[in-house]
Structure 1
Amino acid sequence: MNPLSIKVACSNCNLRELCMPVGLNEEQLQRIDEVVAVRRKIKRGGTLFRNGESFTSLYAIRTGFFKTCVATEDGRDQVTGFQMAGEIIGLDGIVNDHHTCDAVALEDAEVCVMPFDRIEELSREVTALQHHVHKIMSREIVREHGVMLLLGSMRAEERLAAFLLNLVQRLHARGFSQSELVLRMTREEIGSYLGLKLETVSRTFSKFVEEGIVEVKQRHVRILDTDALRRIVNSQQTCH
């Protein structure tokens, strides 16, 4: 076995509530432990899977931060999402049995490898797990739909405000601060994800700083006025 692959028990994992269905009995947990037998470490800049690779597993992120991206026809990287500890990555591969994007670690990361055929097998017996897998997929669809709405009609300030609110809300669900975050991604990657030029992202950050909404020190962002960010996003909805 690969030395980077270490046995891990979901039943003792502090992310269990985020990844796994709650309310499982000991025997069911034991069976899931057997499915998720391997952890994999990915160095910053390393790839977990690539576009076109065969799909075999889903991955639960234990530590670290990832971006998913696809190469556009002119060779640029289009960022399609950011994933953090406690989230599941690799769902893109379910449809056609191969991955449709690259998953790149934005910092040193560790994932739990969950072979999909075993998950499916177990899901048939443990309904709570099946329900949970469906819920994760559904959440992913809702998130993607949200991104499409975001890119479809929002101005730069609205896009960046929605992005920051979403990020801080996801981090808060993992026990982090509601107002402070470290951006693991570059301004350029944020721009790629939000459909904005790098200069626009920087200019919008500066505007938020001038208006006293956020404090920015390199990659450290402190949200001083969450309500102001919400108002920026909601002004969009009241216009329609």
Structure 2
Amino acid sequence: MTFAATPDVATRSIARAIPIRPASTQRRSEVAPLKTMCSTCHLRDLCLPCGLSGSDAECLDRLMFGRRKVAAGQTLYRPGDRFQFVYAVRSGTFKTSLPLAAGGEQVSGFQMAGELMGLDGLANGVHASSATALEDTEVCAIQYSHLSELAAQNGNLQMVLARLMSREIVREHSLMVLLGSMNAEERLAAFLLNLSQRHKARGYSATEFHLRMSRAEIGSYLGMKLETVSRTFSAFQQQGLLEVDKKHVRITDIDGLTRTFEARVH
């Protein structure tokens, strides 16, 4: 279950033109050599090797890429930066966002370990969004030109790459129309259930986790005001669905939370 901001918010607010900074002024940190290989990485079932086995998975070990550490609050790339890499999150959490015409940002997604970022640069050769670390993070910076060459030589890898790209697009847009008809409780329930499933897929608790994003960022993502987000968290606590301590969340009734979301789905 994945979703993005409501269509009316996203369509109305995103800036139509994004200034492009010259390549010489773009901030680029050096990429450290990567020692862990794709075929043996602990995230291989979520990241690029997903669906590959044997020699197909080992072919990814020839990729030209390295690791990059991004401290909390720092930006990995910004609108207008030249597209060179696809980034696989190795640890930590990012938010991706689009600039608004009137200033500020529209949060378009939250990325966790094993998920890809940077594909927005494929269309025009420059990034349309920014990726900001919500905590100390590490990414694998994969040179896209080399990845494309490798995929052209391996049909199975080409299929996996297409599927992963599609998955990331779906992550941003699959429930856009549905969210347009959801009320505040349904939106927040969907968001928390999505996080629950993603934590579970990574071997973490599905019912207890720490929110790396702020209430304001959640509101931007869901098309809700900050006050509405806070009020809805409080309502869930009163209903016995959650226990919330600042950013720490424990889902005490996951079936009840699921019913809150599924009431609209069905």
TM over 0.5: yes
Q: Which residue of 1 aligns with 2:257?
A: 229
Deviates more, 1:89-98 or 1:4-13: 4-13
Q: Work out which of the residue numbers 186, 199, 220 in structure 2 matches 1:171.
A: 199
Q: State yes or no: 1:5 paired with 2:32.
A: yes
Deviates more, 1:87-96 or 1:202-211: 87-96
Q: Which residue of 1 aligns with 2:90?
A: 62
Mapping of 1:4-153 within 5 angstroms? Answer: 5-8=32-35, 9-19=37-47, 20-26=49-55, 28-153=56-181
Q: Which residue of 2 aligns with 1:190?
A: 218
Count the aligned residue pairs. Answer: 236
Q: Structure 1: where are the runs of 5+ without partners?
A: none
Q: Percent identity?
A: 50
**Does the CA-based 8 Å contact 2:64-2:146 persist in structure 1?**
no
**Does the CA-based 8 Å contact 1:39-1:112 persist in structure 2?**
yes
Deviates more, 1:13-22 or 1:141-150: 141-150
In the aligned structure 1, how far is the partner of 2:98 from the partner of 2:46?
27
The amino acid across from 2:32 in the alignment is S
Deviation digits for residues 127-186 of structure 1, max 9, x if unmatched? 221111111122123222334124311100000000000111011111111111110000
Higher helix share: 1
Shift in Å, 1:30: 4.3
**Does the CA-based 8 Å contact 2:69-2:139 persist in structure 1?**
yes
In the aligned structure 1, how far is the partner of 2:61 from the partner of 2:75?
25
Instruction: Sort the Cα spacing of 1:96 and 1:237 in 2 relative to 1 into closer, same or farther, 3 A.
Output: same
Shift in Å, 1:126: 1.6
Deviation digits for residues 66-118 of structure 1, max 9, x if unmatched? 00011211111110100000101111111111111000000010001111111
Instruction: Sort the Cα spacing of 1:98 and 1:166 in 2 relative to 1 into closer, same or farther, 3 A.
Output: same
Deviation digits for residues 191-225 of structure 1, max 9, x if unmatched? 01000000000000000000000010111101111
**Does the CA-based 8 Å contact 2:68-2:140 persist in structure 1?**
yes
Deviates more, 1:200-209 or 1:140-149: 140-149
**Does the CA-based 8 Å contact 1:70-1:77 persist in structure 2?**
yes
Deviates more, 1:119-128 or 1:102-111: 119-128
Deviates more, 1:122-131 or 1:40-49: 122-131
**Does the CA-based 8 Å contact 1:61-1:111 persist in structure 2?**
yes
The amino acid across from 1:84 in the alignment is M
In the aligned structure 2, how far is the partner of 1:75 from the partner of 1:23?
43
In the aligned structure 1, how far is the partner of 2:30 from the partner of 2:248?
34
The amino acid across from 1:6 in the alignment is P
In the aligned structure 2, how far is the partner of 1:36 from the partner of 1:108?
24
Q: TM-score, normalised by structure 2?
A: 0.84
Q: TM-score, normalised by structure 1?
A: 0.93
Q: Which has the higher contact order (CA 8 A, sep 6+)?
A: 2
Q: Structure 2: where are the runs of 5+ without partners?
A: 1-28
